Amino acid sequence: MNVKLLEMSQNAITVIYVACRQCYSEKFAGDVFLDSAISLAKQEEFVKKIVSSGHQSPLEHVKFTFAIQGVSRALTHQLVRHRIASFSQQSQRYVKEKDFDYIIPPAIEKNLEAKNEFEKLMVVIQQSYTKLLELLGQDNISGEMANQDARFTLPQAAETKIVVSMNCRELLHFFQHRCCSRAQWEIRQLANKMLEICVEKLPAVFAEAGAKCEALGYCPEGEKFSCKKYPLK
Ligand SMILES: Cc1cc2nc3c(=O)[nH]c(=O)nc-3n(C[C@H](O)[C@H](O)[C@H](O)COP(=O)(O)OP(=O)(O)OC[C@H]3O[C@@H](n4cnc5c(N)ncnc54)[C@H](O)[C@@H]3O)c2cc1C
């Protein structure tokens, strides 16, 4: 899995700080933005307070954009359920899946027999996919028209690439759900990698971020699903 930060909003701390200040100030946010009297350290302190107070709407003004590759379609199907985000995903219509790559779950990877079974199926799928393109070609159906039908055979394991943008408020929400041990392993891995980048780039907002329990101090998931890092509610 490769997770690369493409871009984040410039002057992130100042943008959040000024947005907060505008709520209570007679001054114009445009002037406050240029006011160098308030040090960045002071602004960061203020932003930390905002985050811990739960007054999160000013965090929506700052966004992060990530490029992600080496993940399964099973992962991206879960990822795109997060509606307060923007996505651009590699298309299985426009990009032919010749020699498609796939993700092997670690539990299957470490069981030799299971891994062989898994890989055997991937070979069969690849063969069928290629054969279908050939057969559709005989009916003069080619290019994206053929790809869009042949892809029905492709597995959730198929590797994909996606670009995702989320604002800081949505990222905090995403981490609460997807860094939790209850989340599926692959999307949890992705969430943890994204969190690592966010903490490095914007610690005032993300230093305390993570699964819900980190902020709550208890686990809301119930006995069956709790990892027991924190006591149950
Ligand atoms: C461990 C786990 C297991 C899951 N299992 C399943 C499953 O079995 N089946 C399944 O279908 N899904 C499942 N999901 C997905 C889950 O139900 C959510 O669709 C997904 O986590 C996106 O979360 P969200 O809707 O809170 O977030 P987002 O879409 O990112 O939205 C963020 C927040 O904005 C607000 N919001 C967004 N849209 C609306 C709206 N239309 N109306 C009102 N408020 C809105 C809500 O407060 C929401 O929490 C699972 C998720 C997790 C973490």
HEC sequence for the chain: CEEEEEEECCCHHHHHHHHHHHHHCCCCHHHHHHCCCCCHHHHHHHHHHHHHHCCCHHHHHCEEEEEEEEEEHHHHHHHCCCCCEEEEECCCCCCCCCCCCECCCHHHHCCHHHHHHHHHHHHHHHHHHHHHHHHHHHCCCCHHHHHHHHHHHCCCCEEEEEEEEEEHHHHHHHHHHHCCCCCCHHHHHHHHHHHHHHHHHCHHHHCCCCCHHHHHCCECCCCCCCCCCCCEC
How confident is residue 228, by pLDDT bands cut at 50, 70 and 90? confident
* Ligand 1 pocket mutation pick from 59, 78, 83 by most atoms within 8 angstroms of CB: 83
Q: What is the pTM of this model?
A: 0.94
Pocket of ligand 1 contains residue 181 by CB under 6 Å: no
Pocket of ligand 1 contains residue 107 by CB under 6 Å: no
Q: Point out the ligand 1 atom lying closest to the alpha carbon of residue 83.
A: 29
- Over the stretch 38-77, which tens digit does the pLDDT of each residue have? 889 999 999 999 998 888 999 999 999 999 999 999 999 9
- Over the stretch 117-173, which tens digit does the pLDDT of each residue have? 999 999 999 999 999 999 999 999 999 999 999 999 999 999 999 999 999 999 999
Q: Point out the ligand 1 atom lying closest to the alpha carbon of residue 84.
A: 30
Pocket of ligand 1 contains residue 55 by CB under 6 Å: no
pLDDT at position 188 is: 98
**Domain annotation for the chain: domains and CATH numbers:** 2-88+159-216 (3.30.1360.170), 94-153 (no CATH)
What is the 139 CA–ligand 1 centroid distance (Å)? Answer: 43
